[in-house]
Structure 1
Amino acid sequence: MWMFREVIDAFWTPDIWLPPNTKWSDLEPNERVQYTDHRHLFYPLPMAIVVLLIRYLLEKYCFSPFGVSLGIKNTKPKRAPDNVILEETFAKNNKWNHKEVVGLAKRLDWTERQVERWLRLRRAQGKPSTLVKFCESSWRCFYYTFSFHYGFVFLWSKPWLWNIDYCWIGYPHQGTTRDTWWYYMMSLSFYWALAVSQFFDVKRKDFWQMFVHHICTICLLSFSWICNFHRIGTLVLLTHDCGDIFLECAKMAKYAKYQKLCDIVSVIFIIVWLITRIGLFPFWILYSTSVDAPRVVNQMFPAYYIFNGLLFLLLGLHLYWTHLILRIAFISWNSGKIDGDIRSSSSDEITLDDDSNSKIDDINEVLPNGTT
């Protein structure tokens, strides 16, 4: 037991988490200042259950009827006939080349067309219906819209929205307000709910990649809360929520077959993405954390460098996504269409599957004249 206690004490040593000459006792809540409390990070766990319940009720009683009223059908794909040999082959590899198709056709005494049709039906079995995808996008659009407007309204009266230096002035003795507390707890509960719901939703190809993404987001939010970086954290959340609203709206329009609306909203999404993820995030937020913070705080500490490093990793991911988004957009608007997916065996080419749920596949789904 004493060894466990020593490990815990070593983990929470102030030399790692706090600026020099600062102790945890200095940040205990008092009558004047209400500091962040790492113990509050357990609250989003039961809150995530509430989020999942709200999602279920909204999808069943609001989003699904709304989708049906738009003409979206909840039709399930036709099942492929049972075949042990093809199932075993499909389990090992669900992408068959022409040579494999020919071999299976000879083995089963089928035509190549029959084998290809079985493969097409088998792939379609695991895909959600259009109505299910509409409901999922509606839920995410609802949350991002609510989160962005909540954050924008309460940050409007905060000085660090208008002068980002206030994220560091007086640090670490910066109290948190009730609206900031709720902003963080709601965001954490939403991402915990996403991480859990992935195991119950229709599984996509990038299941584990998205799961790791949700966990990394939770870690970044938790880290900023523990280090009392909640002010800069609220700005990061605000700049990231607004773009996803338009992405989900474009997908909803696509599922409802409002192509012109989808085209307009998808263009707005790309513009907002470039402004927030490639403009505001690096030149406003990262500049502040990298240049202004050391100048104002003077003495930095290990946790700061870890936090700032995570933000730069996030920027790297944004740049990678932006490169692919613009490339897909260029192909789409010049060719007039995007095929089912853009594939290549070369590592220099973009590989997209229409049954995954990554950021790039979402873009591929909503670009003008694209196919779902």
Structure 2
Amino acid sequence: MTSSLSAWIWSEWFWLPENVTWADLEHPPPGVEYPRVGHILCALPLALCVLILRLIFERLVAKPCARILQIQAGVSRQAQPNAVLERVYKSMTCPDSRQLEGLSKQLDWDVRKIQRWFRLRRNQDRPSTLTKFCESMWRFTFYLGIFIYAIRHLWLSLCHSIPKPLSPGQYNYYVAELAFYWSLMFSQFTDNKRKDFIIMLVHHLATITLITFSYANNMLRAGTLVMCVHDASDIFLEAAKMANYAKYQRLCDGLFVVFSIIFFLTRLVIYPFCVLFESWEIVGPYQSWWLLNGLLLVLQALHVIWFYLITRIAVKAIFRGKVGLFLYLLCYSRSSIQYNCHPHHCFIFTGVKG
């Protein structure tokens, strides 16, 4: 029964192209290595190393840089200690009008005073500008480093034979990306809890699943390209956020323009043509190919939505007469765009990898 179930789950008909078997992957020619799921299990302990490296980086590199840029942690105004309201806050951070009325009667407080208490209490839990700068600088450093590494080793994945041999560069790249996303998921439980906790948890799990799936199924070329084109625009997004936290608004505007252009080129041009269309020509469709590319098509739909939101932000700024560097590059305007990479804006652009 167990062997039959295992054979059904790992059916060669579903997972592999025609005329390729699991035996071909288990017994490659001398000097050739093919991907196996067990190869990337080391990403889990490496994720803990990445977390430790992040803490060291933020303390020894990011915080000194923040001090040079005069970015202060800032001390938010503290809410008055109140056991009843604190207990309610743990279950709901924004009580509705009916609950506010009940608390007002219970505590003999004015409703406005209770609303103010909850607002101050929420502000206490929000990460400071210094914290957000350090997080962005860590992500910027990782994305920049891993992108440079990917470009250097990307051409090693362009072999069109199926199954494709695994190069050391590809293996290191996959393990690094996987360890990074495991670390992001783990850090959600240690960092300040945010409104998008569940959404980002699902996002990280989906990303980890896609990376693992593409590796186990030997879709290395598609996987490498997908990760590479996503990292390219994320570099400039994190740079724009850092410039915003440091109050270099013109630099932030310029980086946002670069981010928008690279987002369009990588995710609406390179991504569909080099990953979706070309993979059809290289291997042709087979069952698990349909599954992976179905997920990638969903991601492409999200790319279109995100780019629409990016464009809408720019258009709103233009029609408000604050076109900044965006129009300066196009028609030499002297105005200044007032787009700010605030956390609720940045969430739109950071959830782009899975």
Q: Do they superpose with TM above 0.5?
A: yes
Give distance in 1, aligned partners of 2:148 and 2:349: 26
Question: Partner of 1:18 in structure 2?
Answer: 16
C-alpha displacement at 1:320, in angstroms? Answer: 2.1
Aligned partners of 1:53 and 1:36: how far apart in 2?
28
- Give the equivalent residue in structure 2 for 1:277: 267
The letter for the 2-side match of 1:206 is D
1:326 and 2:311 are equivalent in the alignment: yes
Which amino acid in structure 2 is aligned with residue 175 of structure 1? P
Does residue 122 in structure 1 map to residue 111 in structure 2? Answer: no
| Aligned twin of 2:194 | 204
Alignment of 1:42-121 (within 5 A): 42-95=41-94, 108-111=107-110, 113-121=112-120
Q: 1: CA distance between counterparts of 2:246 and 2:281?
A: 47
Partner SS, residue 311 of structure 2: helix
Which residue of the partner structure matches residue 310 of structure 1?
Answer: 295
* Alignment correspondent of 2:326: none
> Helix, strand or coil for the counterpart of 2:231?
helix
Pick closer, same or farther for the CA change 1:355–1:120 going to 2, 3 Å: farther
Q: CA deviation at 1:30?
A: 3.2
Relative distance call for 1:124 and 1:336 in structure 2 (3 A) is farther
The C-alpha deviation readout for 1:228-279, integer Å capped at 9, x for no partner, is 1101211111111010001101111111111111111111111111111122
CA deviations 1:40-87 (Å, max 9, x no partner) are: 021211111211111111011111111112111123322211234434
Q: Distance in 1 between matches of 2:345 and 2:188?
A: 11
Check 1:76–1:361 CA distance in 2 against 1; reply closer, same or farther (3 A cut).
farther
Number of residue pairs the alignment of both structures matches: 332
Answer yes or no: is the 8 Å Cα contact 2:157–2:220 preserved in 1: no
Structure 2 distance, partners of 1:90, 1:354, is 24
SS in 2 for 1:264: helix
- For residues 205 and 144 of structure 2, the distance between their equivalents in structure 1, rounded to whole angstroms, comes to 22
Tell me whether 1:144 sits opposite 2:132 in the alignment: no
* Partner of residue 182, structure 1: 172
Q: Does residue 170 of the first structure (1) align with residue 161 of the second (2)?
A: yes
After superposition, the Cα gap between the structure-2 partners of 1:118 and 1:324, relative to the gap in structure 1 and judged at 3 Å, is same
Aligned-partner residue type, residue 170 of structure 1: S
Q: CA deviation at 1:91?
A: 4.4
- Deviation string, structure 1 residues 330-371 (Cα, Å, up to 9, x no partner): 33443478xxxxxxxxxxxxxxx96668632769xxxxxxxx
Distance 1:48-1:89 versus aligned 2 partners, 3 A rule: closer
When the two structures are superposed, what TM-score results if normalisation uses the length of structure 2? 0.85
Give the aligned residue type for 2:219. Answer: F
Alpha-carbon distance change, 255 to 272 in structure 1, aligned in 2, over 3 angstroms: same
Whole-Å separation in 1 of the counterparts to 2:98 and 2:193: 29
* Aligned-pair CA distance for 1:22: 2.2
The offset of 1:324, in angstroms, is 2.2
Q: Does 1:216 find its partner at 2:206? A: yes
Q: Tell me what 2:40 maps to.
A: 41
Which residue identity does 1:114 align to in structure 2?
Answer: K
3-state SS of 1:34 partner = coil
- Contact 2:237/2:349 (<8 A) preserved: no
Mapped partners of 1:23, 1:362: distance in 2: 38
CA contact (8 A) 1:354 1:361 kept: no
Deviation at 1:159, TM superposition (A): 7.5
Q: Secondary structure at the match of 2:180?
A: helix
Provide the rounded CA distance (Å) in 2 between the counterparts of 1:79 and 1:336: 38
TM-score (norm 1): 0.81
| Aligned partners of 1:206 and 1:358 also within 8 Å | no
CA contact (8 A) 1:204 1:356 kept: no
Match of 1:360 among 339, 348, 351: 348
Partner Cα separation in structure 2 for residue 304 and residue 361 of structure 1: 27
What residue is the counterpart of 1:292 in the other structure? 281
Provide the rounded CA distance (Å) in 2 between the counterparts of 1:317 and 1:254. Answer: 25
Do structure 1's residue 248 and structure 2's residue 238 form an aligned pair? yes
Please, which runs of 5 or more residues in structure 1 have no aligned partner? Answer: 161-165, 338-352, 364-372
Deviation for aligned residue 1:287 = 1.7
The answer to whether the 8 Å contact 1:18/1:301 transfers is: yes
Q: CA deviation at 1:29?
A: 3.2
Q: 1:356 to 1:116 in 2, by over 3 A?
A: same
Closer, same or farther: CA 178–355 of 1 in aligned 2, 3 Å: closer
